[in-house]
Amino acid sequence: MLNLRYKFKEVLTQAGLLEGKPAALWRLARFDKPIGTFLVLWPAMWALWIASDGLPSALHLFVFVSGAIAMRAAGCVINDIADRNIDGHVERTKARPLAAGELSLKDAIIFFVVLCFSALLLVLCLNTSAIVWSFGALALACIYPFMKRYTFLPQVFLGAAFAWSIPMAFAAVIEKVPALAWIIFTATLLWTVAYDTIYAMMDREDDLKIGVKSTAILFGNA
């Protein structure tokens, strides 16, 4: 999978598609760091396989894999839009395209809309129940980046966003969301809080200086 990604990136580079603004958009969406896409995709795959008794349809696989790519990218873009005045003060994020001035706010907003519209087109291939649940995914993607200003638990909102594909998958396959789906949802949420708290430890000192909240700060003071 990683070799395929590097070959794809090499082809785009040779074609001149990863220079200037396209390169900045590529990095804004974190296409160069696909681990986040896998973290979004795995819960969706768990739910699809369980809901479909181990035999998910080709359509569902296509929609949820493509949707994970699109919505993870959209989430990264809206996150950088929200943090554009903060990222420059954090060592790990100061080179991000918006913080570094490689892209304008307008560029980022247009890109976000394009990604969300792509995800919408995918969701429209599913049944009405899944479409209704998809609005929750969009809401969480838009809300999460701002939570670090108001609560020490932004990772909980991130966990909910990453786990939201679980009720969507069950709704897409069986048109309902049973208790099992919420058990998997809760486990995924807690798992996400755990690994993102570890990730947030890298920014703890910078976050304390600029007043950004996280579970890394909350648990560190416990």
Whether the Cβ atoms of residue 50 and residue 2 lie closer than 8 Å to each other: no
3-state secondary structure of 80: helix
Q: In whole angstroms, what is the distance from residue 40 CA to residue 37 CA?
A: 5
CATH code for the domain of 95: 1.10.357.140
Whether the Cβ atoms of residue 43 and residue 166 lie closer than 8 Å to each other: yes
Averaged pLDDT in 10-residue chunks for the chain of 222 residues: 58 62 94 94 98 97 98 96 88 88 95 98 98 97 95 97 98 98 98 95 89 90 57
H-state helical runs in the chain: 2-14, 20-28, 35-51, 58-82, 105-123, 128-147, 154-163, 165-174, 179-200, 204-210, 215-220
The domain tally of the chain equals 1
Domain that holds residue 210: 2-220
**pLDDT given at position 176:** 97
Tell me the pTM: 0.88
pLDDT tens for 77-125 read 999 999 998 888 888 888 899 999 899 999 999 999 999 999 999 999 9
Closest CA to 79 of 101, 67, 96: 96
Q: In whole angstroms, what is the distance from residue 171 CA to residue 205 CA?
A: 42
3-state secondary structure of 125: coil
Q: At what angle do helices 58-82 and 105-123 cross, to 10 degrees?
A: 160
Say which residues have a Cβ less than 8 Å from residue 162's Cβ, sequence separation at least 6. 39, 40, 43, 188, 189, 192
**pLDDT given at position 82:** 93
**pLDDT given at position 209:** 87
